[in-house]
Structure 1
Amino acid sequence: MSTASPTPHLDALRKDGFVKITSLLSTQTLQSLRDSCQQATEQARQGKWPYVRTVPKQYPPWNEWQPGDNIWGVQHLLHPDMAQRNAFAELYFSDEVLSIVKELVGLKKDSQGDDQLVMELFNLLVSPAERQDFELRWHRDDVRPEVTPEDEERQLKEKSPGGKQLHAQYNIALFDDASLIVVPGSHRRVRTDEERNAAPFEPNLPGQLVVQMKPGDAVFYDSNILHRGVYKGVDTSVDVGRMTLHGSIGLAGHGTERARQVLQHAVGQWIDKAHFDLEGSKGERAEAMRKRLVEMGSGEGLGYSLVG
């Protein structure tokens, strides 16, 4: 008689490079976050929130919003000046999210594992307005495409020592989402010749899978997996389109390797003044995680993982 694995999410992540979790959010939480995200997105599209991802730029450094910009992301949801910040913090530091994170990075699911968690990034991915479609190139988050197969193999091993990631990252869909495309299993191997020579926006890479998510679903994925995103532009007067929360949480004690990947997004510029107004143990957890991010520094001089 087989025994159920105590780490089913981690097992799936190790095997495929991603794991989908259905109905992570309750109906009440889903509606609350929809309201907050719609407000934040409208502010960003009007230029009232400067920290955005603009079409067609794929990677940081991000420029502040300028008139005429079309956006595909709203940055820094946990920034002290973000009006909806508390709603986002309630989710980011929640047991629902962090219990999965702990499993994926090898920590105990009880509060004993909290002292090794580091606050990292929390952003919002949205559909571009004016029906302007936008696509991301095939990439790994921290391995440049021009590296040799030998360097690619070495970096994959270094970034996942013993087959374990130093962080967990995720997408949580607030509406139907079919934007993330992955190549299952590619997080543990170098690219094939066909993958290496494929066009940056190749629509049909062998073995690719579109991750289909319903509202409230989440996908946690290995940052080393070969993946890209496809954003269908919408008419914002009649359609919300995609609104998906994109976050990452790290493990303490991994120096500049993880610091560069996080601080390249400019979170180090404001985190020292970003104390959280949350109650009880969640507030204590949030403050401790924030302080561990402060200890990573400002990010100056660390460079960027990818270019473009």
Structure 2
Amino acid sequence: MALPLKALYDKQGFVIVPGLVRDDDREELEMACDRVIARTRAGQWPYRRTVGKQFPPYGNDHPDSWGVQHVMHPDLGEPCFVRWYTSLMITEVARELLECGEEDLQMELFNLLINPLESRFALRWHRDDVGEKATEEEEKAALEKWRYGVQWNTALYRDACLFLVPGSHRMPRTPEQRALSETMDPPEDPLEMPGSIQLVLQPGETVFYNSNILHCAAYEPGEKRATLHATMGDAKGGSTRARNVLQHGLEWMKEVRFREDLDEKSVAMLDLLLKMHAESGDAVGFSLEN
């Protein structure tokens, strides 16, 4: 008998959900992605993930990109991203996995993962908000409190970039896993990590995952990728997620011109983010080292 979605998520740290991009939304999202990717590659959008930088701050030193940041930004003029992020299909799954009410849903990050044009690029094995040198006790403490947010990747095209270790969101690394995740270098073969699997998403599939699961990624030039990469929080977590979210630079979300185009539900979600921001201050630092 298959486990319910929440139980499966709690057990393995991820779940794959199909059908969160409706047929009548797919073309609109694909075209919007094509436009923002073209702007980014042409140097007309400064908020990008640059080859050579695995984590924030990404800088602007390399011409090749593996991601587009802040796709809900009003300067991009692509309202379909906000509509999809706050859609009932997405928020219902988020509420189930977070076990919270709609009034607790916190707007967070929405970015786009793309293929580099000329460079192979990979991320090292990591947990998004736990340092690579964390002790076993520090890992345990961080993992126990990391239940107030969910991250997801929605593939518009086939995506085989993500590798993870099921169940590692609940336990510290073994000595063998630690040896392969303490350096700054990405792995030559991700499947050498004990317990690791490769996730292959078909177009329209979404993987929701605990972002402190042990994971890495590998990107190949020439393989078209447009994967919607987002997070959503449960405001009952207070400042738990502040560093991991605010390190991406979300000052633009305070602007009236972003707020004025949102519906009532989206404004409520935004207000919870701004409350966390106000209570946490600006000096949140960065979760991981490049």
What is the TM-score when the length of structure 2 is the normalising length?
0.92
Listed one character per residue, the Cα deviations across residues 270-292 of structure 1 (whole Å, up to 9, x for unaligned) are 111121525xxxx1101111111
> Greater strand percent: which structure?
2
Residue 137 of structure 2: aligned partner: 150
Residue 206 of structure 2: aligned partner: 218
- Between the aligned partners of 1:154 and 1:186, the Cα distance in structure 2 is 14
SS at match of 2:233: strand
- Between the aligned partners of 2:73 and 2:168, the Cα distance in structure 1 is 34
1:176 to 155, 158, 164: 158
Write the letter of the residue equivalent to 2:233: G
What is the TM-score when the length of structure 1 is the normalising length?
0.87
SS at match of 1:184: coil
Q: RMSD in angstroms over aligned alpha carbons?
A: 1.7
User: Mapping of 1:15-164 within 5 angstroms?
Assistant: 15-63=11-59, 65=60, 69-84=63-78, 86-107=79-100, 113-130=101-118, 132-159=119-146
More divergent stretch after superposition (254-263 vs 221-230):
254-263
1:272 to 244, 251, 254: 254
SS at match of 1:296: helix
SS at match of 2:229: strand
Identity %: 41
SS at match of 2:111: strand
Conserved in 2, the CA contact under 8 Å of 1:276 and 1:286?
no
User: How far 1:115 moved relative to its partner?
Assistant: 1.2
Listed one character per residue, the Cα deviations across residues 100-150 of structure 1 (whole Å, up to 9, x for unaligned) are 00000002xxxxx221111000000000012x1100000001111101112
User: How far 1:75 moved relative to its partner?
Assistant: 0.3
1:13 to 9, 29, 41: 9
Residue 291 of structure 1: aligned partner: 271
User: How far 1:153 moved relative to its partner?
Assistant: 1.6
Conserved in 1, the CA contact under 8 Å of 2:131 and 2:288?
yes
User: How far 1:210 moved relative to its partner?
Assistant: 0.8
Conserved in 2, the CA contact under 8 Å of 1:167 and 1:248?
yes
- Between the aligned partners of 1:254 and 1:206, the Cα distance in structure 2 is 31
Write the letter of the residue equivalent to 2:175: D
Conserved in 2, the CA contact under 8 Å of 1:62 and 1:265?
no
Write the letter of the residue equivalent to 1:124: L
- Between the aligned partners of 1:129 and 1:215, the Cα distance in structure 2 is 21
- Between the aligned partners of 2:68 and 2:55, the Cα distance in structure 1 is 13
- Between the aligned partners of 2:18 and 2:103, the Cα distance in structure 1 is 28
- Between the aligned partners of 2:212 and 2:162, the Cα distance in structure 1 is 14
Conserved in 1, the CA contact under 8 Å of 2:107 and 2:269?
yes
Residue 245 of structure 1: aligned partner: 228
User: How far 1:20 moved relative to its partner?
Assistant: 0.5
SS at match of 1:178: strand
User: How far 1:158 moved relative to its partner?
Assistant: 2.8
- Between the aligned partners of 1:28 and 1:231, the Cα distance in structure 2 is 29
Conserved in 2, the CA contact under 8 Å of 1:174 and 1:215?
yes
The verdict on how the C-alpha distance between 1:276 and 1:226 changes in structure 2, with shifts beyond 3 A counting, is farther
